[in-house]
Amino acid sequence: MSELLQFLFSGVTVGAVYALVALGFTIIYNASDVVNFAQGEFVMLGGMITVFAHAAGAPLPLAALLACLGTAALGVAMNKLAIEPARGAPVVSLVIITIGASIFIRGAAQLVFDKQIHSFPAFSGDDPIRILQATILPQSLWVIAGAVAVFTGLWLFFTRTLLGRAVLATSNNRLAAQLVGINTPFVMTLSFALSAGIGALAGVLVTPITMTSYDVGLALALKGFAAAMLGGMGNPKGALVGGLVLGLLEGLTAGYISSQYKDAAAFLVILGVLFFLPQGLFGRKSTDRV
């Protein structure tokens, strides 16, 4: 019983990391139908900028804020320089562009920072919290709280605010959105700033658990992408649930079946879900346009 609980804690910790990354994907996707494979690099930047700003003397909260703002600015620049000019390109071109951008950011990070592994202290210490013979680190709770907060924020944003609806409208039909007076370039700028900022926030929260280095982005992006697709791309609920399900699957498979094939189990489930629900668990139904 205590073993099961520990497997669940492990799964939730990992799942919350995936969920935070997956949530970052949703805004850009909602605004532009682009899956941004550079999302993992935003997470990396969040961690790395905080590490280096902290090392340069900034207190941790200030360093984290700098990291989020800096990364958000970079997200805006990426939209202006790489995504906007390629509007209307086919999916495969957009995949190449965002992977190209991610390779570029990684290349720049290894020059600007270094190739070592870094970390900074957990926010509330390293003393584990004990619940029924199982333990969880306080930082895991920070990550879970972060994921839930970002999810709630996004959900309110998309359903309750005019701006959020403008983002969705821009995604559905850009021309129509412009006609009803939505400032679509502003919506795109905002989306990239938010996505990058959320990515960086994820990086700040998870670094005390996972550590960071210039090349952590790709693995996180792949897992976050898989989680977002499992839940249904574009839906914050899908990202949260997809991330947690993926993490729990890994934890339980490692605990009860085989740690060697825990990633395999995760991908098998994704393939299975997509077989029955081609739009993921909570995805929008789409119709073919001729």
Partner 1 sequence: MRLTTKTATLLALVALIALAPLFFPSAFYYRVGALIFVNGLAVTGIVILTGWAGQISLGHAGFAGIGAYACALAPVHLGLHPALAILLGAGVSAVLAWLVGRPILRLKGYYLGVASLGMGILISMVLNNERDLTRGPDGIDVPDLGLRAALKTAGLDLSNGEFWYALCGIVLVLGAWLALNLHDSPTGRALRALHGSEVAARTVGMDVPRLKLQAFVISAVYASVSGSLLALQNRFITPDVAGFMHSVEMVTMAVLGGVGSVAGAIFGAAVLTLLPQMLTVFAEYEQLVLGLVMVLVMIFLREGVVPSILRKLRGTGE
Partner 2 sequence: MKTFLTTTAIAAFALAAPAMAEIRIGASLSATGPAAFLGDPELKTLEMLVEDQNARGGLNGEQIELIAYDDGGDPNKARTFATRLIEDDEVVAIIGGTTTGTTMSILSVAEDAEIPFISLAGAIDIISPVKPHTFKTPHTDRMACQKIFEDMQKRAIGKIGMLSGTDGFGASMQAQCKDVAPDYGIEIVADETYDPKDADMTAQLTKIRGTAGVQAILNPGFGQGPSIVTRNYRQLAIDLPFYQSHGVASDGFIDLAGAEAAEGVRLPGTALLVADLLAENDPQKPVVAAYKAMFEEKTGTPVGTFGGYAHDAWLILTDAIGRAGSAEPAAIRDAIEATTGLAGTTGIYNMTPEDHLGLDLSAFRLLEIKGGKWTLVE
Chain contacts with partner 1 (rule: CB under 8 A): 35, 81-82, 85-86, 89, 91-93, 95-97, 99-108, 110-111, 218, 222, 225-226, 229, 233, 260-261, 263-264, 267-268, 270-271, 274-275, 278-280, 286, 288, 290
Part in contact with partner 2 (CB under 8 A); list of ranges 78-86, 90-98, 245-253, 269-277: 245-253
What is the per-residue binding string for partner 2 in 246-275, x denoting contact by CB under 8 A? Answer: ----xxx-xx---xx--x------------
Neighbour-count burial for 163-192, b at 16+ CB within 10 Å, e otherwise: ebebbebbbeebeebeeeebebeebbbbbb
Name the CA dihedral angle for 45, 51, 53, 55, rounded to a multiple of 10 degrees.
-160
Three-state secondary structure call for residue 126 = coil
Applying CB under 8 A, which of residues 55, 77, 115, 268 lies at the interface with partner 2? Answer: 115
Give the HSE-up count for residue 51: Cα atoms under 13 Å, Cβ half-sphere. Answer: 24
Three-state secondary structure call for residue 210 = helix
When asked if residue 225 is in the footprint of partner 2 (CB under 8 A), the reply is no
Applying CB under 8 A, which of residues 206, 241, 270, 273 lies at the interface with partner 2? Answer: 206
* Residue 212 token pair: 């960071």
Report residue 248: phi and psi, to 5°: -65, -40
Place of tokens 């959105």: 177
When asked if residue 10 is in the footprint of partner 2 (CB under 8 A), the reply is yes
Part in contact with partner 2 (CB under 8 A); list of ranges 94-102, 162-170, 184-192, 207-215: 207-215
Identify what 274 binds: partner 1, partner 2, none; CB under 5 to 8 Å per kind. partner 1
When asked if residue 3 is in the footprint of partner 2 (CB under 8 A), the reply is yes
- How many residues are listed for the chain in this entry? 290
Return contacts of 134-141, CB within 8 angstroms, 24+ apart: 134/2, 134/5, 134/6, 134/8, 134/9, 135/6, 135/9, 136/9, 136/12, 136/13, 137/13, 137/209, 139/205, 139/208, 139/209, 140/9, 140/12, 140/13, 140/16, 140/209
Identify what 7 binds: partner 2, partner 1, none; CB under 5 to 8 Å per kind. partner 2
Identify what 255 binds: partner 2, partner 1, none; CB under 5 to 8 Å per kind. partner 2
Identify what 100 binds: partner 2, partner 1, none; CB under 5 to 8 Å per kind. partner 1
- State the residues that interact with partner 2 by CB under 8 A: 3, 6-7, 9-11, 13-14, 17, 110, 114-119, 126, 128, 135, 137, 140, 206, 209-211, 213, 215-216, 219-220, 250-252, 254-255, 259-260, 263
